[in-house]
Amino acid sequence: MAASLSLLPNPLFTVSPKLSVPPSLSTTPHVLKFPTTYPTHLIKPLAAQVPRGTTSSVIASAAATPSITATTPSTTFHGLCYVVGDNIDTDQIIPAEYLTLVPSKPAEYEKLGSYALIGLPSTYTTRFVEPNETKTKYSIVIAGDNFGCGSSREHAPVALGAAGVSAVVAESYARIFFRNSVATGEVYPFESEVRICEECRTGDTVTIEIGESRLINHTTGKEYRLKPIGDAGPVIEAGGIFAYARKTGMIPSN
């Protein structure tokens, strides 16, 4: 009985002779083809952004008003660097016990910065933030491979930004840390083309020129190429993904 039923046509897939079926569907009815490109009329271009307010770690002229574009911002960071190695995870950047601090509260945001990189092992004899201080004197962090690995906590880049860090330069990043850095707008996550962490020392004076994608170590006299920050730059400049969305009209401003 089962064998005879299998020979009957399936009523769910019976095609009326009055319908015109395209050959591509009649020969391969189980294949669905999707467009390989997105409709360009639905995509908004990135708008040019103006850098955030100048801080003590940013070299800027109060009188100058340079032309800023989304691809070549003229922001420059200058200060002392703090050097770490490979695989610095988020628990070393900000231990889990401090995740109860709420960054949206100014006092707790400041306190969060005081604990930045406090989870580093004892082999790091120089503290990133001195005891009883909330800010670090090292405005640029230089790291090796896989910086920010571990948990997906947004507190990691927020703690660095709260401590006064303007940028991190690493050989590579954990993807979620890179994304959180851009989304929060706290720090610029630059990638180096070589292992700068092996040629710089904690306390060296360095400059990062975003427009030229380079790092200059004034202590050693060496210069290094950085990978362009790309479209992440305008988002960080605006102060994070929500600030950027409001600024460009993607979502209503408050």
**Residue with tokens 């001195």, as numbered in its chain:** 130
Domain total in the chain: 1
Token pair for residue 193?
Answer: 């083309």
**Residue with tokens 């999707």, as numbered in its chain:** 34
Flag whether 69 is in a domain.
no
Phi, psi of 217 (to 5 degrees): -95, 105
pLDDT of residue 249 exceeding 70: yes
Flag whether 86 is in a domain.
yes
Q: CATH number, domain at 220? A: 3.20.19.10
Q: What is the pLDDT of residues 28-85, one digit of tens each?
A: 444 433 333 333 333 333 333 334 433 333 333 333 333 333 444 558 999 999 999 9
* Cα distance from N-terminal residue to C-terminal residue, the chain: 70
Three-state SS annotation for 139-165: EEEEECCCECECCCCCHHHHHHHHHCC
Flag whether 26 is in a domain.
no
- Domain containing 126: what range? 76-247
Flag whether 25 is in a domain.
no
Flag whether 198 is in a domain.
yes
> How large is the angle between the packed helices 106-114 and 155-163, nearest 10 degrees?
90
Query: What pLDDT score does 73 carry?
Result: 52
Residue 222 pLDDT grade (very low, low, confident, very high; cuts 50, 70, 90): very high
Question: Whose CA is closest to 210, among 82, 93, 44, 52?
Answer: 52
Q: What is the pLDDT of residues 20-29, one digit of tens each?
A: 444 444 444 4
- Please state the rounded mean pLDDT for residues 226-241: 94
Token pair for residue 237?
Answer: 């400049």
Flag whether 87 is in a domain.
yes
Task: Decide if 158 contacts 103 (C-beta within 8 A).
Answer: yes
Flag whether 110 is in a domain.
yes
Q: What is the pLDDT of residues 106-148, one digit of tens each?
A: 999 999 999 999 999 999 999 999 999 999 999 999 999 999 9
Task: Decide if 90 contacts 116 (C-beta within 8 A).
Answer: no
Flag whether 11 is in a domain.
no
Q: What is the pLDDT of residues 162-210, one digit of tens each?
A: 999 999 999 999 999 999 999 999 999 999 999 999 999 999 999 999 9
